Structure 1
């Protein structure tokens, strides 16, 4: 990526030379050009004397890496973004600690003088984070958002306007657009006064009787979780099919989201040992809250909550069952790379005889990938739209003498 702030070799995480998706796009480039030279009547931003720069929603660390010399803070919901940022900063030769790495669950900087927002896919997450950051901006804070045209809607602009102050957009360049917002202390104060504590998050609801093994359980969802206000149809179908009589097994809820799948197993089998894993800090916070809302006290030592690259943190051959509803999007891009990585990590983490259960849209054809990886795959349940697949890690056969 070549910008007014230098040229940088950037990669996503985990780095894959076969991956054709870049670690930056036209929206990142547009924002960086604006910071250097201004857009329209808006002049360049004096970053050297600007004070605290905060970058929200940086996809793969492109913005934080380009601006590392100005010691910004990066706020992200993704552990993969954080890992990519660390790798990209190291590759760029940035000084240790040049970028303060924060999560969406961390307290933001006390004072924010420049706020750069890469618009996320989730409008709820944007609202949640703007509400968290609003008390830390001031009338002189420079607020600039960026995103591809298809990512910025009237509802996006309305959030900036309602939470921070007057908002307008730039002309489009290379299908990217900028958002300019002028913080108004009266708007910020009014928004804070009229907003429920925590911005109304997390949301809580009870699963109905058609939710299989999850019926009657309480789901807790922080902002940004898929289908935060209801049970999505794929998970509902999965809960009607998953094995819950696990006989004290070590079970992983992989890509756990709000953790309702793993929690259903924990409630059905009090002797089960659960691991909830997701790359989203919001998701793992939700899973912990869901687990604690449903499982009797005193069982905290029976559950582990991991934020990171899937099951890479678990020892090989250390789990008995993996339950997974894999995503097939990476931000706006449709890809099966994440799902296939989850399958490979599951096979590594499973003990011989251990099982991977997944639910997926039928058209994705994951049975082919599972057969290639595990040597087997069977349909455990199906309906017109979704299919539940089961794959077993076979014991290695000794080679004939």
Structure 2
């Protein structure tokens, strides 16, 4: 009866129309970036029968712009959907699309909690460790009857994903591909000891890194961060922001140099990792960590120094313009005379954007892979 009601409310004819209303905003808009992809559609179709049986037991994970959460409600009659996504901008896009479509009946989870879940829809994360942490949390908290649907583009679905899911579930199988997307379906949760967060010492840098599964680079210190570390002031004072802080390595270095540091990232996994990294290195009293979209909560003209190792990809899509909102945010929060120190892949055309969005920009170092620049706010 519930399935009939859901079908009557939305109807197969309205399915495309509903999803076509969704937009990426406030996320980056570009011709090669979409709000709803073939994986979203496949997940919703494959899970339709399970949602009809358990309409009040749906959890979505990694829903980039709301297609899974809102689609489960509007197309399949789900109620009380819980949604967790790592990126703050995805939460904002979900809220905007809910308002646009007039869809209600969901709760956003700041941290992943799978308690009692019966149907879990997952947009496959890029990193295997991120998928492993999701699998561990779901297996530990979901109902024993849970079915987990993990979807992604075929070219990004590697066999190691089966193995990762197989560590937490007794049965894992793949669906047929459709429009270059495929699902892995997992049942039979096997709860175990959580393996995240993880930590690693880096004696060469004198830092211990703590990381959750979805944190960029995990417990490693990536080469771009290392290049930027070599150009940070050895001593200083005043206020500094580690923008897009990741696991907080730069924030720790700034705190040790004498700055009062705000470590900010749009990723829930990153801010949890950065807080743990600051604590592990004894600088938690000098580092405040916040989850924010492009420093929206920071007063204009209030910061002396910003450091940034910006992303150059959106999920699995490479797009140079993704860094521009971060550069604009730095330009907004810096006081006159304040500086942005940033690192980026040497082939990327960021110099012009830095001059336009922050101010005069000079090169501090460059090699075939990475360029470090200093931009001064006028």
1:360 has 2:344 as partner: yes
The structure that has the greater radius of gyration is 1
In 2, the alpha carbon distance for the partners of 1:327 and 1:375 equals 20
Q: 2:253 aligns with which of 237, 244, 264?
A: 264
Aligned to 1:143: 148
Match of 1:307 in 2: 291
Residue 4 (structure 1) shift = 7.0
Question: For 1:239-271, what per-residue CA distance to the aligned partner results, in whole angstroms no more than 9, with x for missing partners?
Answer: 11112322x2110000000111111111121xx
Correspondence list, 1:25-174, <5 A: 25-36=37-48, 44-47=49-52, 49-68=54-73, 69-70=77-78, 71-95=80-104, 98-103=105-110, 105-106=111-112, 108-174=113-179
User: 284-293 or 16-25: which moved more?
Assistant: 16-25
Specify the alignment match of 2:185 in structure 1. Answer: 180
1:359 Cα deviation after fit: 0.7
Between stretches 136-145 and 308-317, larger displacement belongs to 136-145
C-alpha deviations, 1:299-343, integer Å up to 9, x for none?
63x432111212121111010110000000000111122211100
Spell out the pairing of 1:248-263 with structure 2 (5 A cutoff): 248-263=237-252
Match of 2:23 in 1: 11
Q: CA RMSD in A?
A: 2.1
**Equivalence map 1:376-395=2 (5 Å):** 376-394=360-378
> Any idea what SS the aligned residue of 1:67 has?
helix
Counterpart-to-counterpart distance in 1, 2:367 and 2:374: 15
Q: Is the 8 A contact 1:3 1:29 kept in 2?
A: no
Paired residue for 1:228, among 207, 211, 218? 218
The structure 1 residue matched to 2:198, chosen from 184, 198, 203, is 203
Residues 148 and 175 of structure 1 are in contact (CA less than 8 Å); yes or no, is this contact kept in structure 2? yes
2:4 matched to which residue of 1?
Answer: none
Does residue 326 of structure 1 match 2:321? no
Q: C-alpha separation between the residues in 1 aligned to 2:169 and 2:87?
A: 24
Contact persistence 1:57–1:117 (CA under 8 A):
yes
- Aligned 8 A contact 1:356 1:390 in 2: yes
Alpha-carbon distance between aligned partners in 1 of 2:66 and 2:26, rounded to the nearest angstrom: 13
Residue of structure 2 in register with 1:274 after alignment: 261
| Residue 180 of structure 1, CA deviation | 2.1
Deviation at 1:31, TM superposition (A): 1.6
Measured after TM superposition, the shift of residue 273 of structure 1 is 1.2
SS of the residue 2:246 aligns to: coil
Change in CA separation of 1:128 and 1:170 when aligned onto 2, cut-off 3 Å: same
User: TM-score by structure 1 length?
Assistant: 0.85
Secondary structure of the corresponding residue to residue 12 of structure 1: coil
Q: Distance in 2 between matches of 1:170 and 1:46?
A: 18
Local SS of the residue matching 1:89: helix
How far apart in 2 are the matches of 1:374 and 1:115?
43
CA distance in 2, matches of 1:393, 1:326: 18
The whole-number CA distance in structure 1 between the counterparts of 2:217 and 2:279 is 20
